Amino acid sequence: MDAKERTKMGYDLFNKGDMETFFKEMVDENTTWTFPGKEGVHPLSGVHKGPQAMMAAMGKIPALWSNFHLTPIDMIGEGNKVFVRAKATADGMDTMFGHYFEIGENGKMLTMMTFDDTLSMFNAMKK
> For the whole model, what pTM was predicted?
0.93
pLDDT of residue 64: 94
Q: What is the structure's pLDDT at 101?
A: 98
Average pLDDT over residues 99-108: 97
- Please state, in angstroms and rounded to a whole number, the distance separating the CA atoms of residues 127 and 117: 18
Give the pairing of strands 109-115 and 27-35: parallel
Q: Which domain holds residue 80?
A: 3-124
pLDDT (mean) for 83-110? 97
- CATH number of the domain at 71, please: 3.10.450.50
C-alpha dist (Å) from residue 20 to 9, 98, 106: 14, 24, 18
Contact status, residue 80 vs residue 21, Cβ threshold 8 Å: no
Q: Work out how many domains the chain is built from and give that number.
A: 1
| Structure confidence at residue 10 as a pLDDT band (50, 70, 90) | very high
Chain-centroid distance of CA 120 in Å reads 16
pLDDT digits (tens, 9 = 90+) for 14-57: 999 999 999 999 999 999 999 988 777 789 999 999 999 999 99
Looking at residue 37, its pLDDT comes to 82
The mean of the pLDDT values for the chain is 94
Q: Which amino acid is at 18?
A: D
Q: How confident is residue 126, by pLDDT bands cut at 50, 70 and 90?
A: confident
Burial class (CB in 10 A: 0-12, 13-18, 19+), 111: middle
